Structure 1
Amino acid sequence: MNESKPFRGGGRDGRSNGVPGSVWLRESRAYRDAPLTRDRIVEAAVALLDAEGAGRLTMRRLAEHLGAGPTTLYWHVRTKDDVVDLALDAIFAEVEMPTAEAGQGQWWAEIRALITGWREAMLRHPWSAALIGRPMLGPNVLRRTEFLHAALTRAGFTGTDLVAAAHALANYVVGSALTEASWRQIGAPGARDAADEHIRERAGDYPTLAANLGPEDEDATFARGLDLLMTGLEATRGSAGSTPPRAGY
């Protein structure tokens, strides 16, 4: 029987093993004196990802965009996974860390500001939401994840409830951004109208869907969904020892 092996941050001699997230789990390599730096690489990678999406990002294209040879590029990053992990963490730096003053000391106001900023960053970089399922271990991500967990802890969530509340908020914002970004990337004029018309023509099969079609304000819809989620969290916070009924599946 094969025994499972622990997840390691690098391959032989500290080199990347091509596993997403491993860039954060191995020691940084000392840079040579050269105009190309990891920061420049990440900045260029984000620009390429914004322009063309993750599917077109290659190490060769990135090197060409930087006007550097592949050998120079590989001194700083070993694989495309390294580049994507670094780029993801870089865009999280755009998510402003709420202050106690801005939230007026209210946990829900601080979380709302964080989650809203998180969504805005992902929509500015529409490739990002689809990649967030990979290990997210960079400092920008972890600081904001720590902030979210700390705010929920101050609200009275502990243990499994704390983890579940954080997951609910994270999954809501990532799922919403992924859906919005996907529609925007379709880019075909009238795509939403065509989808709505498809449902209207089948109103007998989908009466509730057909009755609730109409112009959609994505920002307002997201904000209202967050309202509902936060209301549910407020109703259950601090209820240590109470166990809600499990879903029937």
Structure 2
Amino acid sequence: MSPKRAEQSPSGPGAVWLRERRQGTRTPALSIERITAAAVRILDEDGQSGLSMRKLADALGVHATSLYWHVANRDDLLDLALDAVFGEVEAPRKDPGLWQADIAAYMTGLREALLRHPWAGALASARPLMGPHALDHAESVQAALVRAGFSGTALTAAAAAISNYVIGSVAAEASWGRHDQSTARRALTDHVQSAALRYPTLAAHPPTPYSDWQTHFEHGMRFLIAGLTASAGTSG
């Protein structure tokens, strides 16, 4: 008899975290952990377009129907894989006097984890981050910001600014990494220079090459944390 399909309600992005986990299994060779690890490997090798239930089943050496005891659909696989990447990030130290250092360590660690998996940055910007690892980090980040004096709307906006900066910069870096950056950058510079009357500031201060993405990221991170430090405790 084929394994029963995982509970279908709720469904969609993030739904895997809202269903009750089945107790027991008719497919002892499989587990959520093994399925997740295989999904991450496929995504690393082939990107989002390369992940399917059938391809995952082939990689695990099982029939595709066996997967449905554990996961309902491809959305589940994406959410599980993305949260596994967040699981690679070390939690902040929670030092009451060093909240800025905690935030910087989290941002740096998240960037490194997402870059190890080039599909993850774009995926993180498009899906609810509801997995246990992602929520553990959200808890740590908000706790650091509360220690700094943030509350209310300012707290949620500050936390979002931190995650959005990392995820957005990684998504851009991963996307550019698939192309010849130098040619595109030269074309942009030449275009701006040829239209200097319309773009005088850009022409006078052309963009620096994005070959050193880490330096750009670290500058932006320092600017963001300096702004948070100046704003801490001033609004709710």
Could you say which TM-score interval applies, normalised by the shorter chain? 0.7 to 0.9
* Contact 2:96-2:147 within 8 A present in 1 as well: no
**Which residue among 154, 159, 162 is the counterpart of 1:161?**
154
* Contact 2:10-2:19 within 8 A present in 1 as well: no
Deviations 1:145-183 (A, max 9, x none): 000000000000011111111111111111111111111
Q: Report the counterpart of residue 71 of structure 1 in structure 2.
A: 65
- When residues 177 and 156 of structure 1 are mapped into structure 2, their CA distance, relative to the original with a 3 A threshold, is same
Which stretch shifts more, 34-43 or 181-190?
181-190
**Which residue among 199, 224, 228 is the counterpart of 2:223?**
228
Q: Report the counterpart of residue 139 of structure 2 in structure 1.
A: 146
Q: Which structure exhibits the higher relative contact order, with contacts defined as CA atoms closer than 8 Å and separated by 6 or more residues?
A: 2
**Which residue among 127, 138, 142 is the counterpart of 1:134?**
127
Q: Report the counterpart of residue 124 of structure 1 in structure 2.
A: 116
How far off is 1:203 after superposition? 3.6
* Contact 1:16-1:23 within 8 A present in 2 as well: no
* Cα separation, 2, equivalents of 1:162 and 1:188: 37
* Equivalent residue letter for 2:121: A
TM-score by length of 2: 0.87
* Contact 2:6-2:68 within 8 A present in 1 as well: no
* Contact 1:16-1:78 within 8 A present in 2 as well: no
- When residues 94 and 80 of structure 1 are mapped into structure 2, their CA distance, relative to the original with a 3 A threshold, is same
Q: Report the counterpart of residue 184 of structure 1 in structure 2.
A: 177
* Cα separation, 1, equivalents of 2:75 and 2:227: 37
Q: Report the counterpart of residue 205 of structure 1 in structure 2.
A: 198
- When residues 201 and 69 of structure 1 are mapped into structure 2, their CA distance, relative to the original with a 3 A threshold, is farther
* Cα separation, 2, equivalents of 1:22 and 1:179: 27
* Contact 1:29-1:76 within 8 A present in 2 as well: yes
How far off is 1:19 after superposition? 0.7
Identity, % of aligned positions: 49
How far off is 1:189 after superposition? 7.2
Which stretch shifts more, 152-161 or 173-182?
173-182
* Equivalent residue letter for 2:133: N
How far off is 1:13 after superposition? 8.3
* Equivalent residue letter for 2:47: G
- When residues 195 and 46 of structure 1 are mapped into structure 2, their CA distance, relative to the original with a 3 A threshold, is farther
Which stretch shifts more, 70-79 or 142-151?
70-79
* Cα separation, 2, equivalents of 1:17 and 1:212: 50
Residue 60 (structure 1) aligned with residue 54 (structure 2):
yes
* Equivalent residue letter for 1:29: R
- When residues 157 and 77 of structure 1 are mapped into structure 2, their CA distance, relative to the original with a 3 A threshold, is same
TM-score by length of 1: 0.83
* Cα separation, 2, equivalents of 1:111 and 1:230: 8
> Which sections of structure 1, spanning at least 5 residues, go unmatched?
1-11, 242-249
* Contact 2:107-2:162 within 8 A present in 1 as well: yes
Equivalences, count: 228
> Which sections of structure 2, spanning at least 5 residues, go unmatched?
none
Residue 93 (structure 1) aligned with residue 87 (structure 2):
yes
Deviations 1:170-224 (A, max 9, x none): 1111111111111113367744444444444444433333432333321111111
* Cα separation, 2, equivalents of 1:63 and 1:33: 12
- When residues 197 and 47 of structure 1 are mapped into structure 2, their CA distance, relative to the original with a 3 A threshold, is farther
- When residues 34 and 220 of structure 1 are mapped into structure 2, their CA distance, relative to the original with a 3 A threshold, is same
